[in-house]
Amino acid sequence: MYHTTSELKFDRFPVDKRVPEEIKDHIKEIRGKVKDKIKDLGKELLIYTSEEAVQSTKAMYSILVKVKKLVIEFSENFAKTKQDKNILDFSDIEHYALEILKKEEVCNKYKQKYEEILIDEYQDSNLVQETILTSISKENNIFMVGDVKQSIYKFRQARPELFLEKYENYKEKSEIQEKENLKIKLFKNFRSRQNVLSLTNTIFDSIMSKELGDIDYNKGEYLNLRSRLSRRTKPRSRATRNRLKRRRKNNI
């Protein structure tokens, strides 16, 4: 690859008098951009020959062995210290739970115990948590709520891909067939005014994509105003109205 890219040459641009000059110029411009892109990628990525890469890897081996030994030694000492002090951290709780659930009888016990499993902030779940929850589920009794735009915990091994995989494959009520997984979009917003939502939608539509934000933000993803009044199922009583008037008058 290194030699192929470094020695790459483009054939001479063909001359054809039947092709209008403006089309030729446009093609030449595209061709020039492709050539420059390939050269830039070669300079950025293909900076070693195969022999040089192998020698570099061999030179790093002794360092990596020491790093491995250090990490294992630290992990063992850290675990022993926690055991001596009779304490656990959050990661311990996750992994010990996973270890216990490897036993089939334990899994079956909790599958029978829980009628429903409700998960909030699902976009921040990691693979350990996902394995724990699916191992005790009945496959049709998990309700997950999340928003991939709010995912901020990748540095703690969160996997928003878990959310996205379900978001893209689950179906809405109008599309669903029997026993398929249901997707419910919670896009009615009653916390903000219309001007706030409109500005938010405009900005997100302009900047958020699969590459930036993990989702294509378009009209299908917009936040929509839901009036606070629409949540009332019946009118307020006179006593309630008078009490609210007194509170507003007294700035309570």
Question: Mind listing the pLDDT tens digit for each residue in 28-59?
Answer: 888 888 878 877 776 666 776 778 778 888 88
How confident is the model over 95-133, as pLDDT tens digits?
A: 999 999 999 999 999 999 999 999 999 999 999 999 999
Amino acid identity of residue 21, one-letter, is E
Instruction: Tell me the average pLDDT across 229-252.
Output: 66
- Contact status, residue 126 vs residue 157, Cβ threshold 8 Å: yes
Question: How many CB atoms are closer than 10 A to CB 121?
Answer: 15
- Contact status, residue 142 vs residue 133, Cβ threshold 8 Å: yes
Tell me the C-alpha to C-alpha distance, in Å, between residue 101 and each of 47, 120, 127: 48, 22, 14
Out of 7-21, 153-167, 202-216, 228-242, pick the least confident: 228-242
pTM: 0.63
| H/E segment holding residue 224 | strand 224-225
Q: Decide if pLDDT at 231 tops 70.
A: no
Q: Which residue has the tokens 């022999």?
A: 51
Measured N-to-C along each axis, helices 90-100 and 127-135 cross at an angle, to the nearest 10 degrees, of 40
- Contact status, residue 147 vs residue 123, Cβ threshold 8 Å: yes
Instruction: Tell me the average pLDDT across 136-145.
Output: 92
- Band of the pLDDT at 8, cuts 50, 70, 90? low
Q: Decide if pLDDT at 191 tops 90.
A: no
Mean confidence (pLDDT) of the chain:
85
Q: Which residue has the tokens 């009779």?
A: 86
Q: Which of 7, 16, 10 is nearest to 30 (CA)?
A: 10
Tell me the C-alpha to C-alpha distance, in Å, between residue 75 and each of 69, 79, 80: 10, 6, 9
